[in-house]
A and B are shown apart, each in its own frame.
Chain A
Amino acid sequence: MLLRPHKNDYKIIGYYTGKIIIGVGLVMVVPLLTSLLFAEWGPALDFVIGICACFITGLGLIMLCETDRDLLWMHGMVTAAFSWVLATLLGAIPHYLSGHFLSYLDACFDIMSGYTTTGLVLIQDLDHVSHGLNMWRHLLTYLGGQGMIVVAITFLFKGTAGAYRLYVGEGKDERLMPNVIQTARAIWMISLTYLAVGGAMLFVANMLAGMSPIRSLLHGLWIFMGSWSTGGFAPQTQNLLYYHSPLVEFITIIIFVIGSYNFALHYSIWQGNYHEVRRNIETVSFSTTVTITCILSFLGLMQAFAYPNVFALLRRCLYQIVSAHTTTGNMTVYAVQFVNHWNLLAAIGIMIAMSIGGSACSTAGGIKGLRVGILFKALINDIHRIFSPDSAIIIHKFHHIRDVVLEDRHVRAASLITISYMGIYLLGAVVGLFYGYPLLPSLFDSISAGSNSGLSCGLTCAAMPSVMKMVYIFMMWAGRLEFMSIFALLGFIWAQAKGR
């Protein structure tokens, strides 16, 4: 029997959503200060309006839904999914007021793309965007990479079991520390340390590329945020092509590979367990699939005579493949080149890389290396079983921070999520085909949105139909939260309509 949600359920969801929205408002203070620092008065007003809207909504929800009750699993999941929608609607206010978007839907698209670390954009005239707005674009993708709820848990939650349920609702389940709040703080410590190191390296690289100190600093910070969060945002329309710098490419490739690793792996390495990199199922799976997809694209590009020499071919191929596989979306080729310059085989390599994605509990999206590894192990297990006597007991293990015995529940969970990802990839492609786009761009951009990659072959633009924009927003949201929270939210709405 389906039970209709009680008034208290709404109160709990509203109360914790309010806290998360206040977190979004507090984060907006950083771009506001940036705008004030550079005397950008118009954008500063946009952020004041955005902050006020967040505080009014957040405090309003907290006061209306005040409760002492803790979150149950259902509340955690629904709050995670709902707060992402509300944070998108409110976060889009400064975007829309900036005048760089054709509609509020476009602004919401870019915000969802940022939070989910996708990197697809509909912004207009990016080359003339204010420093404040650029700071907001990159900051939200940086925060989205760690998880918006991780931000709220770090600063606005007291030690509750419910905080862990919210954390899981955001598609993360690794506990680096015994307490979830300490875990959130550890994630922040890791990310901020890399921000300092990576930002400094990119600052130097930009100076060497010939940029002024201030712009080198800002661009270094923003490119780091875009790369580390595997978001792929950049402050100029040409993305990474703007810099014409092999050094910038080299540094960013390292940053997004590190960013795509599981936070548990980072923490393990920080504790001196360096062997984990070599043994972890996710790093093994990642290096295997990167090699396979790279060979595929390399062969495709060779067949198409796309590049004049092996060095050029390797440089372009490797960057695009690793960017796709870590679901970053930074590009060193123009979007239309995937269709006009690259051939089908090369594009298929990119699409496979995007669909697999990075590691679980990281800033990356996609099916995830852990699940691909588990499914592969399960396949080997089944083959092994076929060739063994009936009485034989076959035990397979995989290593993920510790040795884990492969059980049916692992395979079931991995299969369920993999099927869900395949489902949304297909959904986006079918919608693209419905609107008359060819198969390759429809599938390419659909996989990119669903896996939160952000590479595009030119289909995603402000001129695309509104329904497609909404479908892509849904795909980015569902892909980032790994479906369970979305299913919980839909179930909650269904229970309200049909429950007793």
Chain B
Amino acid sequence: MNVSRHKPILFLITALIALSIITLSSCPAQATARLLSSDTLLRQSKQWDRQLVRFRGEVIGDIMLRGTHCWINVNDGSQALGVYCPTELVKSIRYVGDYRYSGDMVEIIGTFHRACPQHGGELDIHAEALKIIRPGARRPHPVMISKLYLAMSLFSCTLLIMGLYVYRKRLKPRRNK
């Protein structure tokens, strides 16, 4: 067999294998992390302690910057968990959830800590990757007409009863005279 003839092919295969190994080792999160809910993480915290996990939910409240890292809180509908991540990961987050907005839905891949030694025993996730899976949006809060009518009628009744009260109060000293 003429090896020199197959040299380019062998080189290509070796390069492909090396590239695959490098790619896999540079992003182990995507390869091994399992998607878990907050309920599972809280109830089976021992089992998942220091494991790489995938967690999805809505970013709520604030993005709290602390130097090179920051804290976000991610709510999966059942419970919100604290996520500690490098600041550059949160740059893509546009909306955080509050009364006016639904926050961006994100997928976090990171190490789960049942009692984080770095953060005084807090249960948290240290994010290694963050992906926005659905952007947030403004939450509509239309004023209900029935509520408006109810408020107006009750307000009229209140004014009426207040008037009656004041009238009776004024009448009382005259009666006493």
Contacts and interface: CB of A to CB of B under 8 A. Distances in A.
Q: Which 8 A-B pairs have the closest CB atoms?
A: A312-B121, A210-B64, A52-B154, A308-B117, A127-B60, A307-B121, A130-B99, A48-B151
Contacts of B119: 244
Contact of A341 (B61, B97, B114, B157): B114
A118 B155 CA distance: 32
A419 B65 CA distance: 50
20 contacts: A40-B141, A41-B143, A45-B151, A48-B151, A55-B158, A56-B154, A56-B161, A62-B165, A127-B60, A209-B66, A210-B64, A237-B79, A242-B73, A242-B80, A244-B82, A244-B84, A311-B120, A336-B42, A341-B45, A341-B114
A40 B99 contact: yes
B111 to A, nearest CB: 14
A59 B99 CA distance: 34
Contact of A315 (B71, B121, B155): B121
Interface of A: 40-42, 45-46, 48-49, 51-53, 55-56, 59-60, 62-63, 97, 127-131, 209-212, 215, 236-238, 241-244, 246, 306-309, 311-313, 315-316, 332-334, 336-337, 340-341
Contacts of B123: 333-334, 337
A212 B39 CA distance: 30
A237 B65 contact: no
Contacts of A340: 42-43, 45-46
Which one of A48, A53, A333 has the greatest number of beta carbons of chain B within 10 Å? A48
Contact of A45 (B71, B98, B147): B147
B95 to A, nearest CB: 12
Contact of A210 (B42, B63, B139, B158): B63
B158 A244 contact: no
Secondary structure dominating the interface of A: helix
Contact of A334 (B42, B84, B148, B150): B42
A97 B45 CA distance: 37
A209 B64 contact: yes
B158 A238 contact: no
A60 B157 CA distance: 11
Contacts of A63: 161, 164-165, 168
A258 to B, nearest CB: 23
A132 to B, nearest CB: 9
A318 B55 CA distance: 30
Given A128-B97, A312-B115, A42 B120 contact: no
A334 B79 contact: yes
A242 B143 CA distance: 31
Given A63-B164, A128-B99, A312-B121, A45 B143 contact: yes
Q: How large is the interface on B (under 10, 10 to 19, 20 to 34, 35 or more residues)?
A: 35 or more
Contacts of B143: 41-42, 45
B122 to A, nearest CB: 7
A215 B141 CA distance: 21
B147 A52 contact: no
A53 B154 contact: yes
Given A63-B168, A128-B97, A129-B99, A312 B117 contact: yes
B144 interface: yes
Given A49-B151, A244-B64, A313 B164 contact: no
Contacts of A332: 122
Contacts of A53: 154
B15 interface: no
Nearest to A131: B99
B42 A337 contact: yes
Nearest to B155: A52
Nearest to A312: B121
B148 A45 contact: yes
Interface string B37-75: 000001101100000000000001111111000110101
Contacts of B141: 40-42
Contact of B147 (A42, A51, A130): A42
B10 interface: no
B71 to A, nearest CB: 5
A45 B154 CA distance: 11
B122 A336 contact: no
Contact of A308 (B63, B71, B121, B155): B121
Which one of A60, A215, A236 has the greatest number of beta carbons of chain B within 10 Å? A236
B24 interface: no
A306 B70 CA distance: 25
Contact of B115 (A59, A62, A210, A307): A307
Given A52-B155, A210-B64, 13 more contacts: A42-B147, A45-B148, A52-B157, A55-B158, A59-B161, A127-B98, A131-B99, A210-B66, A237-B75, A238-B79, A246-B120, A307-B115, A334-B79
A40 B143 CA distance: 10
A210 B79 contact: no
A95 to B, nearest CB: 14
